[in-house]
Structures are given as C-alpha cells and as structure tokens.
Amino acid sequence: MLSNIIMKQHSTIHFEISERKVLLRIVDILMVFLGIFILSNYFQFEYLSLAPANAVPLVVLAIYISLFGTIFEIYDLQQASKLDVSFKNIVICMSTVMLFYLLTPFVTPVLPEARLQIIYFYVVLIASVFLWRFLYNTLIASPRFFKHILLVGELSTIDNVLSTLLSADSNYKFIGFINSEGTSEESIKYKGLTEYHTKQLSNVILDEKISEIIISTANAENITPELYHELMLLLERGFKIREYTQVYEEVTNKVPIQHVGKDFYKYFPFSRNNENKLYLFFQRLFDIIFSVCGLSFMLLIIPFIFLGNLIGNKGPLFYTQERIGRNSTLFTILKFRTMVTNAEDGKAQWATKNDTRITTFGKFLRRSRLDEIPQFINVLKGEMSIIGPRPERPFFVAELSRSIPFYETRHIVKPGLTGWAQVNSRYGGSVEESLTKLQYDLYYIKHRSPFLDLNIILKTLSTVLYYRGQ
C-alpha cells in the first residue's frame, strides 16, 4: 500500500509558487522569441532576428522583459490569474520595454528605415506574452494542476488554516482533514470540510491523489499514537509532510508570530547576512550612493515641492519627528510635511486611510512617496538604511510592544526608507495592521539577502509607478 502511495504521489503534477513564477518568466521570453522568429521568417521584418549575430540584442531584450515585468507585476500570480488585469500590466510593461529598447541603440539594433516594423515588433511583444497568459490560465492554473492537500490538526485550527492558505494561493485544494486529537461520537463535528479517520489515511491518499499532508497543531503531543505511527511510516517512505508554519511562511512571505510560543528560537534563525561584513559593507556603500543621488534629485524638485506646499499645505515645508532606530536608539526623522499643522494637538494618533488631517498636496506627496525624500539625510548619517523596517515613534513602539509579541525584534537592524512590509501591505493604523507589518519585517530580517533587497527595490518602483503610497 505504501509503495503505491509513493508512486501515486510522483505521478501527480502540480506547480509550486516559485515554479509558476519561474515558468512565467521563462516562457514569456520564449514566446517573444517565437514571435520574432515568425515575424523575421514569414514577414518582411528585418529589425531583429534569431541569429548568433544578434545575441547581445536578444539578451538585452530578455533582461528588459524580466526587469520591467517584475516592476509592472506581470509575474504576480494573483494578477496573472486575471486576464483583464494581466492585459493592462502587459501593455504598460511592453511599452516601457519598447521605449528602453529603442533608446539604447548601443546594445540594440539600429532603427529600421521602415518605421512600421517598430509597430510590428511592439504588437508581437504584447500579443506573444498575453497569449502565454491565456494558455497559463487555461492549462497551468486549471484545477487539474491544483495541489491536493490533506490537513491534520485540531478542529480549532482548521478555519484559520483554510482561509490563510486559500487567500494566499488559490492553487491549493483541501480534500479533507484528520482530527489529530482523535474523534468519538460525542466529538464536535466540523461541517466545512470532509473529516477522515486515521485508518482511512492510506486509502484517502490514493483515491484523492493527495500531494501533501499539512500538520497544524498547537501541541504535537495531542497527536494520537495511531496517527503518529501512520504519519511516520509515510514520512519514512518519502511522502511529503509539512508543518503549517513552514507552509505559511512560504506562501505568505511572513513570519507566523501568532503561532510562535515558547519554542520561538525555532522560528528566528535570522539571516547570516545580518552579521556578514561584506554584505553590510556593500549595503552601506549602496546607501551612500543612493542617498547622494536622492538628495541631488531633491534639489531639482524642491522648488516645485515648495510651491505646492505654499498653495496646498500652507505651513512649514519640513517636518521632524522622533523615531526608534537600530538597537532601540532614538533619532530625529526628516520628512516633507503632509498633514495640517498641529495635526495631533499634543497627542500621538494613528494615521488612517483617508485621514482628514492629510492635506490635498500631502496626499500627492504620500502616494508618490516624495514625502520620504528628505530621509536620505538620515541614511547618509547612518541612522537609517535604504531598505529595512520603517521606523516607528516611541509612543507607538511602547504601545505595540505590550500587545504584540516580538515587536522589539524589528529593531535589530537599521530602519529603512522602504521595506518588505511597505511593498506588501498598505496601512498600519491599528494593532492588527501593525501585527501584519511586523510579520513582513521579521521575514525580511530572517531572509535578508541581496536578492530580497533587489526584489524590494523593484516592488518599491511598482508602488511609486502605480501611485500606491500611503
């Protein structure tokens, strides 16, 4: 029976989140190259062809598609599953790719005499990528490739697990669950999902083509000996069994601190890059270079900011405030003012969505993130970094630390101008929203790396371009 289960597991096909993202990227480029091949071989198209002599222009095109595809979110799985949203993002993305491709003739082909070929090229870029999105949604994102999951856990955890994982990844299909505490005639029944008994485990895996078992239990000691024995046999034969918090972190990119107890040390094997001297050196070098560029840009736009502030804000141009930095040290942050003067009237208040204290010009500054530009001075001084958890005010830190476990942990790194929480969530005007942001911040600290930093930078560009600032 066990050998049949393992063979059945390997015969089923499903794609992990990372695999789907890689698949989207690779096939995007292949589809564009296919479109170029058809154009150059069956139409009078001479601007670009799949030839060894065009190796550099083709590589540049692939880089542009991947880079701007990330910025304009065509590899976001939630958005890729909606064809109308995908089409809009693809048009914007390929328009930008086209613009940069034409403006870099030192690494791309010289413009053809027949300018109509540029239109053909542009149409092929959009059509080939959108055709792949249509095929992706029809084939890869279809129910036949869903991951069939069997849940093991207490009744009290089921609703939370289902809602969290299904909202994060629609390709999960929960077949049923086994109560880890065992059941009896008097046990409370859960009606939202089929319940199986331990003795049915092997048959359910075979009949329902289960890909993975997820264990969600507040206390592993609650698992019955019979169930434990069956799970161990499956694990020893190579069947995929995972703990819920591992899956949660993988699909949500957050640390599940609401599930962390006295064994907290298991969840915080913080990234070695927090102590990597080379990584920290290059991060500081990047901070300095980026800050100098940012302050130069501020000098160019400050006359316009001053004029907008004079008309729309009617008060001081700059705003200073005490914030908590690395190792809980205090520093003074500098921003362009976005609220009315005396907005808090001596009492600290949460900023909320559609906050009436924010001026008309202040809304523009916040949504475009221009209000943050003066903080490049804080970065140059070493009080902040370009990337890191956003610095919070002492009053709110004291309040949140009392109600949210591990909140002070976010202060083990420098605060940043932008961060993983900023590009993945929008508001932090309550304890619940601050909890969500903390989960993202701890994920960043735990997985900190040059690749994650680059991802944050690209997502920040998306936030600015799509006007999603707070």
Q: What is the CATH number of the domain that holds 212?
A: 3.40.50.11060
Q: What is the dihedral of CA 325, 330, 334, 339, to 10 degrees?
A: 100
- Cα gap 68→261, rounded to integer Å: 41
- Cα gap 415→394, rounded to integer Å: 14
More confident residue, 264 or 325: 325
- 60 has a pLDDT exceeding 80: yes
Least confident of 3-17, 213-227, 314-328, 397-411: 3-17
CA nearest to 268, candidates 13, 47, 73, 446 = 446
Q: Phi and psi at residue 321, in whole multiples of 5°?
A: -160, 145
Q: Would you state the structure tokens that stand for residue 314, as one six-digit string?
A: 């009617």
In a domain, residue 296? The reply is yes
Q: Are residues 168 and 286 in the same domain?
A: no
Q: Are residues 383 and 292 in the same domain?
A: yes
In a domain, residue 3? The reply is no
3-state secondary structure of 318: strand
- 380 has a pLDDT exceeding 70: yes
pLDDT for the residue numbered 326: 92
Residue 44 confidence class, pLDDT cut points 50, 70, 90: confident
Q: Are residues 415 and 452 in the same domain?
A: yes
pLDDT for the residue numbered 345: 66
In a domain, residue 8? The reply is no
Domain count, the chain: 3
Q: Which H helix or E strand runs over 219? A: none
- Cα gap 348→351, rounded to integer Å: 10
3-state secondary structure of 214: strand
pLDDT for the residue numbered 428: 60
In a domain, residue 89? The reply is yes
More confident residue, 408 or 220: 408
pLDDT for the residue numbered 19: 81
pLDDT for the residue numbered 171: 80
pLDDT for the residue numbered 296: 94
Q: Are residues 129 and 152 in the same domain?
A: no
Q: Are residues 111 and 194 in the same domain?
A: no
Q: Are residues 127 and 203 in the same domain?
A: no
Q: Are residues 229 and 360 in the same domain?
A: no
Residue range of the domain that includes 444: 272-465
For the chain, the maximum distance between any two Cα atoms, rounded to a whole number of angstroms, is: 82
Q: Are residues 217 and 88 in the same domain?
A: no
In a domain, residue 312? The reply is yes
Q: Would you state the structure tokens that stand for residue 50, as one six-digit string?
A: 């799949």
Report the chain's mean pLDDT, rounded to a whole number: 85
In a domain, residue 73? The reply is yes
- 451 has a pLDDT exceeding 60: yes
Q: Kindly report, residue by residue over 153-189, the tens digit of the pLDDT.
A: 888 778 888 888 888 887 888 888 888 876 655 555 6
Least confident of 371-385, 386-400, 429-443: 429-443
Q: What percent of the chain stands above pLDDT 70?
A: 88
Q: Kindly report, residue by residue over 391-426, the tens digit of the pLDDT.
A: 998 888 888 888 888 888 889 999 999 999 988 886
- Cα gap 333→324, rounded to integer Å: 9
Last residue within a domain, chosen from 140, 169, 200: 140
- 318 has a pLDDT exceeding 70: yes
Last residue within a domain, chosen from 252, 287, 305: 252
pLDDT for the residue numbered 225: 87
CB hemisphere CA count around 256 (13 angstroms): 21
- 2 has a pLDDT exceeding 60: no
Q: Are residues 458 and 317 in the same domain?
A: yes
Q: Are residues 69 and 198 in the same domain?
A: no
Q: Are residues 291 and 421 in the same domain?
A: yes
- Is residue 17 within 8 A of residue 169, CB to CB? The reply is yes
Last residue within a domain, chosen from 72, 106, 140: 140
- Cα gap 335→375, rounded to integer Å: 6
Q: Are residues 339 and 322 in the same domain?
A: yes
